[in-house]
Amino acid sequence: MLVMLVAFALAVSLLLAAQTSSHMSASRTNGELAFRVAEAGVQQATMSLKENNAYSGEQNTQFGGGNFTVTVTAPVGQATHRMVVSTGRAGYAEGLLATRSISAMIDLGTPPPIANFGIVSQSSLTLKGTTDVDSSPSGGQGNIASNGSITLNGTVNVDGSASSASTVTTTGGATVSGSINQDTAPVPFPTLDFPALKSQATATKITIGNVTVSGPAPVTLSGLINGDLNLLGSGHVTLQSPVWVTGKISFGGTGQIDGGALISEQDITASGQNSLSGTLELVTLGNFTLTGGASVNAAIFVPNGTFSSSGTSSVFGSVAAHSINLAGTTSITHNTGFKWSQEFAPTHLGFYQE
């Protein structure tokens, strides 16, 4: 009888131990699953905030047999950030329910530093002839900058500051209404992922051959254009960003363009008038040239080449280029109300913790 009692007690002990181990294993499994569900909630919040920065969260969204609840708040004094708390729940094994929470800070996309300037050059900047740099809708922000030296010579008026990583020289009656800052830190230029942008455009649509847009009818452009793009009409052109052009882009019309980034592997030339509605970046891996009485409303980005103008030309937006060559009568109006697109101000996760 004693032996039987000992054996029975041992069996019960082993059974309880097995049950405890099973519960612990189930708890770990459910905890890991709940954590993955919570991670899915953070990813959902990131994507939603890319589309709409007013997104405030969601409750009990089903994911993989579990569900997550997301809350989104704006930290005080950080208008371009959102605090996200995602709580994941899962209960696959043995009917046990596990809950895990993840906190993350999401940057909605701070405008790039070049957004602070009407003109910014990576190399030395010389403005001569008749050049005006001002700003709108906010005045006094026609700022210019160079990661080399700045020379202003002639009838040059800058309604803003002049900042140089080297020296600033003004001669011949040139004026700067704001501060003159020498030996400043270089202005960082955006590092765009061009291969990824080209792949994104290619996945959307591929058009073989040159494309010409003329006439007053509205047109939507998307994907990759394997050829040149000629915009000659007076109609409204809407971009499904990014639009990638393997050849040259030429503007000769008076139409309105909006929608994001228009990228050329070669040169961009503008000889007509084009207006801006919303967001438009003109990006070239070659050079950008304004000729005659060209007028372009856009943020112009020339990371490797030269932006040049001749005749009586104007830009409403901004110019950021490796080098800048202005001749004739040029007017640059810094659009202080411009909203940079996702390519230049990407949404991304900051800190990420449980």
Last residue of a domain, one of 108, 142, 164: 108
Q: Give 136 or 252, the one with higher predicted confidence.
A: 136
Distance CA 76, CA 157 (A): 39
On whether the CB atoms of residues 326 and 131 are closer than 8 A, the answer is: yes
Does the residue 99 lie in any domain? Answer: yes
Provide the b/e sequence for 265-291 (b: ≥16 CB within 10 Å).
Answer: ebbbbbbbbbbbeebbbbbbebbbbbe
Strand-pair category, 211-213 with 180-181 = unpaired
Q: What's the one-letter identity of residue 77?
A: G
Task: Give the tens place of pLDDT for each residue, 41-57.
Answer: 998 998 888 777 788 99
Per-residue pLDDT band at 26 (split at 50, 70, 90): low
Structural domains counted in the chain: 2
pTM: 0.77
Task: Give the tens place of pLDDT for each residue, 155-198.
Answer: 999 999 999 999 999 998 899 999 999 999 999 999 888 999 99
Residues 81 and 151 in one domain: no
Residue 270 has pLDDT above 60, yes or no: yes
- For residue 257, the 8-state DSSP code is E
Per-residue pLDDT band at 117 (split at 50, 70, 90): very high
- For residue 336, the 8-state DSSP code is T
Residue 343 has a pLDDT of 82
Per-residue pLDDT band at 278 (split at 50, 70, 90): low
Residue 16 has pLDDT above 80, yes or no: no
Strand-pair category, 81-90 with 98-107 = antiparallel
Residue 163 has a pLDDT of 97
Does the residue 282 lie in any domain? Answer: yes
From residue 125, how far is each of 60, 144, 170, 305 by CA, in Å?
A: 56, 9, 12, 14
Tell me which residue of 118, 135, 261 sits closest to 196, measured CA to CA.
261
- Report, as an integer, the average pLDDT of 143-163: 95
Last residue of a domain, one of 90, 108, 126: 108
- Of the given ranges (14-28, 33-47, 265-279, 297-311), which has the lowest mean pLDDT? 14-28
Domain range spanning residue 266?
Answer: 113-335
Does the residue 14 lie in any domain? Answer: no
For the chain, helix, strand, coil in percent to 5 are 20, 50, 35
Show Cβ contacts of residue 145 under 8 Å, excluding neighbours closer than 6 positions.
116, 117, 119, 120, 121, 125, 162, 163, 164, 184, 187
Residue 80 has a pLDDT of 81
Residue 14 has a pLDDT of 44
